[in-house]
Amino acid sequence: MLFKGRTIALNGFNRFALMLVALGIANSLLPGPAAAKTLAAWVELIGFDMEASVRTIVTEESACPQFRSGAETVQMQVRAEPGPSVLAEKQAEFPVRVCEAKVPSAWGKITLEGVALPVPAAEFKRIVILGDTGCRIKKKNTQDCNEPKYWPYPRLANQAADARPDLVIHVGDYLYREKSCQGRADECPESPVGYGWNVWELDFFAPSSRLLAAAPWIMVRGNHETCKRAGEGWFRFLDHGPFPKKCPNADIGVSFVTGSKRLRFAVMDSAAIAKDNDDLDEEDDASSGDVENPDALLQQKFEQIAGKLDAPTWLLSHAPFNAVRLNKDTDADEVDDTIQQRALGSFLPATVKLIVSGHVHAFEAISFNGANSAHVPQLVVGDSGTKLAREPHVPNNVSGAAVTSGVVLSHFGYMVWDREGTNWDGQLFDERGSPTVRCKLIERDLICKKED
């Protein structure tokens, strides 16, 4: 071997050393796990005592990343590998890896790739609520997804992030770009449709990025996320439990309770019983009429969590217990499907102070005889982006109970609730950031008034 003009004899030790060097060089050239290229990151509440899950979506070439909490480094684990649909009936492609790590409420600051992620606050003082956010592309009932006037969710989400909430609640229906409108709508936007990652990214993750970074979320499943539709993405990305091997029985998932000792959230999966019968629907491909004995099934799901509702509780369900909409055939006001009120109304303990839902594409606040009512007041925030329903009238009676206070408004918006001692003050904001409705929740008394 020549080195600076000199010849060096290679003995056995030198040959072995050179072999190790060569192997090291060769190994350094072999492909290994790529550094994570993160496409989305967020924190969601998934269990009792503020148990949370840190989630990331990375490219299919990327390994799951690590994050730091104080002096500890946590390696995230694979939740769902890249690939085609394995659960839902609709075939779709997911060329992304989903990663997660569960964290207890006691953890402090969390940083991922140098960026701080939101951690659950000890107490919730400001809560954002929104729902039914996606851009509808489905035959002739189509929105222009590139025009904020017609699809304002990106603007609403950014405004909600500016409110600096402690918690964000999404009451379901994240994906609406389902079927091509080519040849069916007068103006058909250029956009992918279906149920894969490319649609989830456009309809939810990209426009939600600032709000996902602003606060932890509670995710509620909507009827657009059933296994007949976008259920694959729901279970890969957002469901509170582990990624399952098959869809749940009757397509109704496990209920859970989260939140603090001052305010609990009972999260129920009503996606499969939320019928698609509003005035915009052209087909009933998400109807739940085939769920056998839904009352008994809902009661069973509720019994699993009832013992944990030991503090003031907001019950979160995509399908309302008591709401009103216009009949698409007769234009008459009608009470929305009340399966849950029938099945669970008499079982709800006094600690349940408010039911929060979406599904009806409007804002509704309906209260029954104040704090002493056996009926829990109903709040509907289904007006955060998808094409709005026509505005019904405030009902006089729902499910046999007199309505003592009510506001119904078909206008895009999101809600911000602020704690005032044991009470809550709420405002509905429109796409310009202006308040359109003001509310106060005192025990079971929900009083709302439109702004002049």
| CATH label of the domain that carries residue 170 | 3.60.21.10
**Which is more confidently placed, 12 or 435?**
435
Instruction: Indicate if 21 and 43 belong to the same structural domain.
Output: no
**Mean pLDDT, rounded, for 416-430:** 97
* Dihedral sign of CA atoms 151, 157, 163, 166 in order: positive
**Mean pLDDT, rounded, for 54-77:** 95
What the block records as the tokens of 174 is 């994240």
Each residue's pLDDT tens digit, 172-213: 999 999 998 887 777 788 899 999 999 999 999 999 999 999
pLDDT score of 290: 65
Q: Give, for 406, the enclosing helix (H) or strand (E).
A: strand 405-409
**Mean pLDDT, rounded, for 415-424:** 97
Instruction: Indicate if 25 and 43 belong to the same structural domain.
Output: no
Give the integer Cα–Cα distance in Å for 67 and 63.
Answer: 13
Instruction: Indicate if 19 and 42 belong to the same structural domain.
Output: no
Q: Which of 142, 171, 219, 97 lies closest to 358 in space, CA to CA? A: 171
Q: Which of 180-189, 276-285, 292-301 has the highest mean pLDDT?
A: 292-301
pLDDT score of 336: 77
Instruction: Indicate if 299 and 438 belong to the same structural domain.
Output: yes
**Which is more confidently placed, 21 or 373?**
373
pLDDT score of 228: 93
SS3 233: helix
**Mean pLDDT, rounded, for 99-120:** 89
SS3 300: helix
| Alpha helices, DSSP H, located in 139-230 | 153-162, 197-200, 209-212
pLDDT of residue 278 exceeding 70, the answer is no
Q: Which of 400, 432, 406, 438 lies closest to 420 in space, CA to CA? A: 438
Instruction: Indicate if 290 and 245 belong to the same structural domain.
Output: yes
SS3 153: helix
**Mean pLDDT, rounded, for 38-61:** 96
Q: Which of 167, 219, 208 lies closest to 385 in space, CA to CA? A: 208
Instruction: Report yes or no on whether pTM surpasses 0.75.
Output: yes
Instruction: Indicate if 185 and 71 belong to the same structural domain.
Output: yes
pLDDT score of 426: 98
Give the integer Cα–Cα distance in Å for 259 and 127.
Answer: 12
pLDDT of residue 234 exceeding 90, the answer is yes
| Alpha helices, DSSP H, located in 332-427 | 339-344
- Residue 68: pLDDT band (50, 70, 90) is very high
pLDDT of residue 286 exceeding 70, the answer is no
Give the integer Cα–Cα distance in Å for 363 and 350.
Answer: 25
**Mean pLDDT across the chain:** 88
Instruction: Indicate if 339 and 322 belong to the same structural domain.
Output: yes
What the block records as the tokens of 312 is 């003031």
Q: For the chain, what is the domain count?
A: 2
pLDDT score of 107: 74
Query: First vs last Cα of the chain: how many Å apart?
Result: 91
**Cβ atoms of residues 116 and 110 within 8 Å:** yes
Instruction: Indicate if 24 and 159 belong to the same structural domain.
Output: no
Q: Which of 433, 440, 415 lies closest to 170 in space, CA to CA? A: 415
- Residue 343: pLDDT band (50, 70, 90) is very high
Range of the domain at 246: 38-450
Instruction: Indicate if 199 and 238 belong to the same structural domain.
Output: yes
**Mean pLDDT, rounded, for 296-321:** 96
**Cβ atoms of residues 59 and 37 within 8 Å:** yes
Give the integer Cα–Cα distance in Å for 133 and 435.
Answer: 19
**Mean pLDDT, rounded, for 292-308:** 94
Each residue's pLDDT tens digit, 124-163: 999 999 999 999 998 778 999 999 999 999 999 999 999 9
Give the integer Cα–Cα distance in Å for 405 and 12.
Answer: 92
pLDDT score of 108: 80
Instruction: Indicate if 196 and 243 belong to the same structural domain.
Output: yes
Instruction: Indicate if 23 and 49 belong to the same structural domain.
Output: no
**Cβ atoms of residues 426 and 441 within 8 Å:** yes
* Secondary structure E strands in 180-268: 217-219, 256-259, 264-268
pLDDT score of 299: 96
Percent of the chain whose pLDDT exceeds 90: 73
Instruction: Indicate if 159 and 12 belong to the same structural domain.
Output: no
**Mean pLDDT, rounded, for 329-357:** 90
Give the range among 302-316, 356-370, 388-402 with minimum mean pLDDT. Answer: 388-402
Pairing state of beta strands 264-268 and 137-138? unpaired
